């Protein structure tokens, strides 16, 4: 009991302390107790609120389910519509498939005939050169050349010419393979071509080493040594500085129209200077910027010079070293022997001045010529370190501190994008004219026209005097474009070129399908670029089309009139992955109508099912009708074009329309126009 009393006393003391702490503060109100009636009312209100919330959730769920069911029903109807449209397309495709198969068979027969004739001519020629498509023959040839003794300069250059024959023949096989979709085979042949050109470099280097090893045999009465020679596509100059005459400053070879003005450090150094001009370019295809060479590549090398032989008692003693069979390249400026390697300010380095003749079939797009050097590290043509560039009477002159590959360069996209393009059939129906108008002001709005025939094509326009040597020369489509590129008119555009002109690349399959459709109808219809093609995105292509009803009116001016006036006979064909259709988007309108843009995006991304139906109906009393697509342009134009026009196109030679397809696809008209 005593313990309990003490505990109570303590508790009481605690209460007093608590009260003391609260003294002076606001007295807390005692919460009012709810009456039973209030408790019942509150619980009833809470139950009612819960019921209302549950009803709201149930209503929302029911509405969601209703909308979902409604959308599903709409989507099901939309998918049924699409399935029905696909069934119609499948039926149309089935109807035209036998015709397309027949054309493919005719094309294969034509290709086989062309190849057989080519191989027979090759057999009759009894060439000792290897077949550029057969790896075993390339290997045997490569080993034989590698194992043979060092050639004199003349035979070495003759071998270089032979090697270019192999490379050029390889282009024939490679372009055939590309056209047939055999990309792996085309790449293999391309690899053989690289090996053959590398072999050329090896043979010329060995010949150079042989000349330097026997330099005494080439000295003139002043002790100077200049060796030069040329063959088709090659010019070679070699200067050996054994005398080290500071007054000798110019290596001039008027026979080749090549000269090199030497800076003083080179006239005092025991080195050789070699200049080789090749008509071909192996560097630009792998270039990481937009520059490409024009007129070949000029290579300048500084080479380590072996000592002259000694004559002892009438016997010539030559020092044998690796330099007897191969060359050793030196950097410029030449490092001082034994000195530490330091970074050199190239602005303080005296330049070489080079001068050489360029071909007369060169088209320069810029008034001021530009020369660049090849940077191996970045795989780019660069213009820093080259100054005083001039071009007069086909003689190119410049100063440089870069001892490496040099070239006259210009932008590979100078012709892109095309301002317009077109195709039109000839009056005879035996060929089709493909016309592209480069954007660059150098061409003054004049088109470059190519006449396309069965398996071949030829330059048909003479607007550029420098290209007249190509007029009427029949070549395979890709081979002609390669020749034009070599002359400075680069039309063989690639995907990487899109970035240089700021345009979006068309889907590859779409672009190929569009070129095939246009080619198939080209013997009977005119086609022209659409101003909207480039702006409608990568998944759509547009082209204008007009049937030719009078084949005496198929000149360039006739086509211009038709597509300038844009009367009822002109239609606009839209192609996308679903097929092709005719749309109202002629060039005379300012922009693609919004309704058409909406329909073009029907079925894409999230715009499918009920969302597509809603988009077609939104804000309209009458919903938009979906576009109706056909599997090919041939089926699309049934009922639109005349039967005679379609029949003429159908009867055209498969080899002709295939050449048109290759030409259009190589020109990349749907991406770059």
Among residues 624, 625, 651, 650, the alpha carbon closest in space to that of 637 is found at: 650
Q: Would you state the pLDDT for residue 206?
A: 97
Q: What was the pLDDT predicted at 409?
A: 98
Q: Would you state the pLDDT for residue 177?
A: 96
Q: Which residues of 35-58 are buried (b: 16+ CB within 10 A; e: fewer)?
A: eeeeeeeeeeeeeeeeeeeeeeee
pLDDT of 20 strictly over 70: no
Look at the chain and count its residues. Answer: 673
Tell me which DSSP letter residue 109 carries: H
Question: Which pLDDT tens digit goes with each residue over 27-62?
Answer: 666 777 888 888 888 888 999 899 999 999 999 998
CATH of 214-335+350-411, picked from 3.40.140, 1.20.1740, 2.60.220, 1.20.120, is 2.60.220
Per DSSP, the three-state class of 19 is helix
- 500 vs 523: CA distance, rounded Å: 34
Average per-residue pLDDT for the chain: 91
Answer for the pair 79, 609: CB distance below 8 angstroms, yes or no: yes
Asked if residue 451 lies in contact with residue 457, where contact means CB atoms within 8 angstroms, the answer is yes
pLDDT at 638 over 70: yes
CA distance 516 to 531: 20
Give the pLDDT of residue 464.
84
Whether the Cβ atoms of residue 114 and residue 455 lie closer than 8 Å to each other = yes
Phi-psi region of 287 (alpha: psi -120 to 50; beta: other; left: phi over 0): beta
- Least confident range from 7-11, 85-89, 92-96, 167-171: namely 7-11
Closest CA to 252 of 237, 234, 273, 274: 237
- Flag whether pLDDT at 22 surpasses 60: no
Give the DSSP H/E element, type plus range, for residue 303. Answer: strand 291-304
**How distant, in Å, are the alpha carbons of 18, 170, 429, 654 from that of 110?**
112, 20, 18, 8
Tokens of 155: 């035979």
Mean pLDDT of 337-358: 81
pLDDT at 580: 97
Phi, psi of 550 (to 5 degrees): -130, 110
**Nearest-CA neighbor of 542 among 517, 567, 569?**
517
Cβ-in-10-Å burial (0-12, 13-18, 19+) of 483 comes to middle
Q: Quick check: 557 pLDDT over 70? A: yes
The pTM for the full model equals 0.87
Pick from 427, 474, 408, 433: nearest CA to 667: 433
3-state helix, strand, coil in the chain (%, to 5): 45, 20, 35
Count other Cβ atoms within 10 Å, centred on residue 374. 23
- pLDDT, residue 340, reads 60
Q: What residues contact residue 252 under an 8 Å CB cut-off, 6+ apart?
A: 259
Residue pair 234/209 in contact (Cβ under 8 Å)? The answer is no
Nearest to 299 by CA among 228, 371, 373: 373
Q: What is the pLDDT of residues 440-479, one digit of tens each?
A: 998 989 999 999 999 999 999 887 888 999 999 999 999 9
Selection from 525, 535, 539, 624 nearest residue 571 by Cα: 525
| pLDDT tens for each residue of 264-285 | 999 999 999 999 999 999 999 9
Structure confidence at residue 24 (pLDDT): 52
Structure tokens at 123: 């057999």
Output the pLDDT for position 335.
85
Contact in structure between 540 and 576 (CB atoms under 8 Å): yes
The position carrying tokens 């009012």 is 32
pLDDT one-digit tens code per residue, 572-609: 999 999 999 999 999 999 999 999 999 999 988 888 99
What does the pLDDT average to over 388-392?
A: 96
Look at residues 560, 579, 324, 364 and name the one whose alpha carbon lies nearest to residue 465. Answer: 364
Listed residue (396, 363, 369) closest to 484, CA to CA: 363
CA–CA dist 4, 12 (Å, integer): 12
Separation CA 663–CA 657 (nearest Å) = 10
1: confidence class by pLDDT, cuts 50, 70, 90: very low
Is residue 170 pLDDT above 60, yes or no?
Answer: yes
H helices then E strands: how many in the chain?
15, 23
Closest to 610 (Cα-Cα) out of 233, 221, 247, 71: 71
CA 175 – CA 110 distance, rounded (Å): 15
Mean pLDDT of 548-556: 94
Comparing CA positions, the residue from 331, 333, 327 lying closest to residue 346 is 333
pLDDT of residue 273: 97
User: For the residues 413-431, what does the mean pLDDT come to?
Assistant: 94
Determine the 3-state secondary structure of 290 from DSSP.
coil
Output the 3-class SS for 245-285. CCCCCEEEECCCCEEEECCHHHHCCCEEEEEEEECCCCCHH
Q: How confident is the model at residue 134 (pLDDT cuts 50, 70, 90)?
A: very high
Pinpoint the alpha helices (H) of 180-219.
183-213
Q: Is the pLDDT of residue 78 over 70?
A: yes
Q: pLDDT per residue over 216-255, tens digit each?
A: 888 888 888 999 999 999 999 999 998 877 778 899 999 9
Any bridge partners for residue 356, and if so which? 258, 396
Is pLDDT of 292 > 50? yes
Which run of H or E residues covers position 118?
helix 36-125
Rounded Cα–Cα distance for residues 493 and 481 (Å): 10
pLDDT at 33: 85
Cα–Cα distance for residue pair 418/340, rounded to 1 Å? 54
Token reading at 472? 């009427």
Q: What is the structure's pLDDT at 25?
A: 54
Q: Which residues pair with 411 in a beta bridge?
A: 291
Diameter of the chain measured on Cα atoms:
144
Predicted pLDDT at 501: 95
- Cα 283 from chain centre: 15
In angstroms, what CA-CA distances link 575 with 480, 493, 572, 580, 582?
28, 22, 10, 4, 9
- How distant is the alpha carbon of residue 646 from its chain centre? 34
List the end-to-end C-alpha distance of the chain, in Å, as a whole number. 110
Band (pLDDT 50/70/90 cuts) for residue 341 is low
CA separation, residue 619 to residues 72, 318, 624 (Å): 22, 95, 11
Determine the average pLDDT of the residues in 399-410: 97
């Amino acid at each position: 009991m005593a313990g309990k009393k003490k505990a109570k006393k303590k508790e009481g003391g605690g209460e007093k302390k608590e009260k003391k702490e609260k003294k002076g503060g606001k007295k807390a109100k005692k919460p009012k107790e709810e009456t039973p009636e209030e408790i019942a009312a509150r619980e009833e209100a809470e139950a009612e609120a819960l019921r209302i919330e549950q009803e709201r959730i149930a209503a929302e769920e029911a509405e969601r389910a209703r909308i979902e069911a409604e959308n599903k029903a709409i989507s099901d109807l939309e998918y049924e519509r699409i399935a029905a449209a696909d069934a119609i397309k499948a039926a149309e495709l089935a109807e035209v498939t036998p015709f397309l198969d027949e054309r493919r068979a005719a094309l294969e027969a034509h290709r086989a005939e062309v190849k057989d004739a080519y191989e027979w001519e090759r057999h009759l020629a009894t060439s000792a050169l290897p077949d550029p498509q057969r790896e075993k023959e390339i290997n045997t040839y490569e080993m034989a050349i590698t194992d043979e003794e060092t050639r004199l300069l003349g035979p070495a250059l003759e071998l270089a010419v032979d090697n270019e024959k192999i490379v050029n023949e390889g282009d024939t096989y490679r372009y055939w393979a590309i056209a047939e979709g055999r990309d792996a085979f085309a790449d293999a042949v391309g690899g053989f071509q690289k090996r053959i050109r590398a072999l050329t470099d090896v043979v010329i280097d060995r010949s150079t080493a042989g000349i330097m090893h026997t330099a005494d045999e080439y000295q003139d009465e002043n002790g100077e040594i200049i060796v030069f020679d040329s063959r088709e596509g090659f010019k070679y100059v070699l200067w050996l500085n054994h005398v080290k005459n500071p007054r000798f400053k110019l290596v001039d070879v008027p026979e080749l129209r090549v000269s090199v003005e030497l800076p003083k450090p080179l006239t005092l150094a025991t080195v050789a200077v070699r200049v080789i001009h090749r008509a071909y370019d192996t560097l630009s295809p792998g270039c990481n910027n937009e520059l490409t060479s024009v007129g070949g590549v000029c290579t300048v090398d500084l080479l380590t010079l072996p000592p002259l032989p000694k004559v002892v008692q009438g016997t010539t003693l030559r020092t044998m070293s690796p330099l007897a069979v191969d060359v050793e390249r030196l950097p410029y400026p030449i490092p001082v022997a034994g000195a530490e390697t330091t970074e050199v300010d190239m602005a303080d380095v005296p330049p070489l001045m080079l001068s050489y003749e360029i071909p007369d079939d060169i088209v320069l797009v810029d008034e001021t010529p530009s020369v660049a050097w090849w940077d191996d590290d970045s795989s780019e043509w660069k213009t820093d370190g080259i100054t005083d560039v001039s071009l007069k009477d086909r003689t190119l002159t410049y100063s440089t501190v870069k001892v490496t590959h040099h070239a006259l360069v210009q932008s590979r996209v100078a012709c892109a994008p095309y301002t317009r393009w077109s195709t039109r059939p000839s009056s005879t129906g035996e060929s089709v004219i493909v016309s592209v108008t480069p954007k660059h002001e150098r061409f003054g709005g004049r088109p470059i026209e190519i006449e396309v025939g069965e398996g071949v094509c030829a330059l048909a326009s003479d607007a550029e005097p420098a290209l007249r040597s190509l007029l009427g020369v029949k070549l395979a489509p890709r081979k002609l474009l390669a020749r034009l590129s070599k002359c400075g008119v680069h039309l063989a555009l690639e995907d990487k070129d899109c970035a240089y002109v700021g345009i979006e690349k068309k889907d590859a399959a779409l672009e190929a399908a569009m070129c095939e459709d246009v080619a198939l109808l080209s013997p009977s219809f005119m086609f022209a670029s659409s101003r909207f093609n480039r702006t409608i995105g990568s998944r759509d292509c547009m082209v204008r089309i007009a049937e030719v009803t009078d084949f005496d009116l198929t000149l360039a001016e006739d086509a211009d009139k038709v597509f300038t006036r844009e009367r009822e006979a002109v239609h606009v064909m839209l192609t996308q992955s679903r097929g092709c259709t005719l749309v109202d988007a002629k060039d005379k309108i300012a922009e693609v109508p919004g309704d058409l843009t909406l329909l073009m995006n029907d079925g894409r991304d999230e715009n499918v099912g009920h969302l597509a139906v809603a988009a077609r109906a939104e804000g309209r009393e009458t919903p938009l009708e979906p576009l109706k697509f056909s599997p090919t342009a041939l089926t699309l134009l049934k009922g639109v074009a005349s039967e005679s026009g379609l029949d003429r196109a159908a009867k055209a030679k498969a080899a002709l329309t295939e050449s048109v397809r290759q030409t259009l696809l190589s020109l990349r008209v749907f991406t770059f126009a």
